[in-house]
Each structure stands twice: as structure tokens, then as C-alpha cells.
Amino acid sequence: MAAQNLSDDSDESLMLSYAQGKAAAFDALYARHRVGVYRYVLRHCGNAPVADEVFQDVWTNLVRTRATYAPTSRFSAWLYTLAHNRLVDHWRATGQVDMVSIDGDDAANDAVGALPAARADEPDERAANRNIAAHLHAALAKVPPLQRDAFLLQQESGLSLLEIATLTGVGVETVKSRLRYAVAKLRSELGALRELAHR
């Protein structure tokens, strides 16, 4: 009965309950967001052990800062902000931060136009199914971190453009530019896979 009530509660009320000492509320929150956060972290890191560590740090930070949580915005925005900040720390620690960002639409269009054409190799369906995850990770790894971050936030967290902009500390147009560039890059990298997905 209590679990049923918790599953009906919103993320924000669950987080407030947990901050007030209700441990079961955290279980419900974790069950809702563990997969999205993990994929967001894993696709950024590309390395499962590192992703596990970062993922655990994200939730540890949430536990530690539970008393400061205020439901001024969606809980998922706050949660992915914690994840984003932890990833930034990770990038700084590993020297992976590429501060070059293509923010202007024209520049983004130029960059997309300069991408190479889709590869002509067409793996058979079985091989594609077997290696598709590896291709996805490889394609995402080729996207610059900031564009990839915007793309993954859109894919995994379900945040709006404005929320992503707030989370990353840039304007909405910048977020759009990053998304446009990331989608174009992935299209070019995953051209064949996209065809498989269409079938």
C-alpha cells in the first residue's frame, strides 16, 4: 500500500519525503531514473567502470545534498544537473573538455555540410544487431562533448530545450545549435544503422 502510494507520487514529493527521512522514497526515485542517468553517463564516458563510478557519485551527491533540495524546478532537471556537473569534473580530470563549440546556426550548418557522406558499407542485419551498440557508442564518441551532452540530455532526461539551456548554462539557441550539430554528426556516422531502424 505504501509502495503504491509512493509510485503515484511525483518526483518532487518523493525527493522531499526522502529529504525528510523517508528512505523508501529514495528507492522509488532511484527506480525511476537509474536507467536514464546511467545511459547518459555511460554514453558520455564510453567506459563501463568509469561510468559506474560517475553514476554512483551522482547519486551520492544527491544523497548528500538532499537537505538543500527545493522543488523550484523539475526533479529530473536537478538530477541531470548533478550528473552534468559530475561529468564536467570527469572531463576536466581526464582532459577531455573540448571548449570549442559551434553555437551559431550558420557555423553549424557549415560544419554539418562539411561532414563526409554516409558510408556505403551495409552490414547484414545480424551483424548489425550484434554490433549496433558498439556502433552507437562509437558514433557518440565522435560527437564533441558539448553537442553530445545536449543530445543525450534530450534523449535520456526528456528535458525541454529551455531546461537543457538552464542546466548547461547557455542560451536556448546555443542548445539548438548543439543539437543540430550532434544530430547531423550522428546521421552521418549511423547512416546504415538508421536505414536498419527504418525497416
Partner 1 sequence: MNDDRDLHDTALDALLRTHSAETPPPAVDAAVLAAAHRAIDGEMRARPARATQPWRWWMPLAAAAAIGVVVIGILPMAPTLVEPTPPATSDAPTTATAPPPAGTQPIEAARPDTQGTPMARVPVPSTTDRMSAKRDAAPTRERAESATKAGSTPSRPYYQMYRYVPPEPPAAEQDRRANATGAVAAMPQAAPAPQAIRPQQEAAARAPATQVPQEANAQPPRQGSAAALTQPARSPEVLPRTDAMSLEDRQKVAAAQPRTVDEWFALIRKLRSENRVPDAIRALADFRAAFSDADARLPEDLRDWAKTVP
Positions in the binding site for partner 1 (CB under 8 A): 18, 21-23, 26-27, 30, 34-35, 38-39, 42, 52, 55-56, 59-60, 63-64, 66, 129, 132-133, 136, 154-155, 176, 179-180, 183-184, 186-187, 190, 193-198
Which sign, positive or negative, has the C-alpha torsion 170, 97, 37, 86? negative
Give the C-alpha separation, 94 to 50, whole Å. 11
Least Cβ distance, residue 55 to partner 1 (angstroms): 6
* Least gap, CB of 111 to partner 1 (angstroms): 12
CB of 183: closest distance to partner 1 in angstroms? 5
Burial annotation 18-32 (CB, 10 A radius, 16+ → b, else e):
bbeeeeebbebbeeb
Beta carbon nearer to partner 1, 54 or 95: 54
Looking at beta carbons only, is 41 or 77 nearer to partner 1?
A: 41
Query: Which of 142, 129, 124, 133 is closest to 185 using CA atoms?
Result: 142
Q: How far is the CB of 38 from partner 1 (least distance, A)?
A: 4
Could you tell me the smallest distance in angstroms from the CB atom of residue 144 to partner 1?
A: 17
Q: Which lies closer to partner 1 via its Cβ, residue 97 or residue 170?
A: 170
Tell me how far, at minimum, the Cβ of 188 lies from partner 1, in Å. 11
Q: Dig out the grid coordinates for 57 from the structure.
A: 557519485
Residue 60 or 85: the one with the smaller Cβ distance to partner 1 is 60
CA distance 16 to 193: 43
The DSSP call for residue 136 is H
Q: Cα separation of 82 and 139, whole Å?
A: 25
Of 77, 87, 95, 19, residue with least CA distance to 55: 87
In this structure, the chain runs to a length of 199
Please say which residue, 97 or 172, places its beta carbon nearer to partner 1. 172
Considering the complex, state which of residue 97 and residue 183 has its C-beta at the smaller distance from partner 1: 183
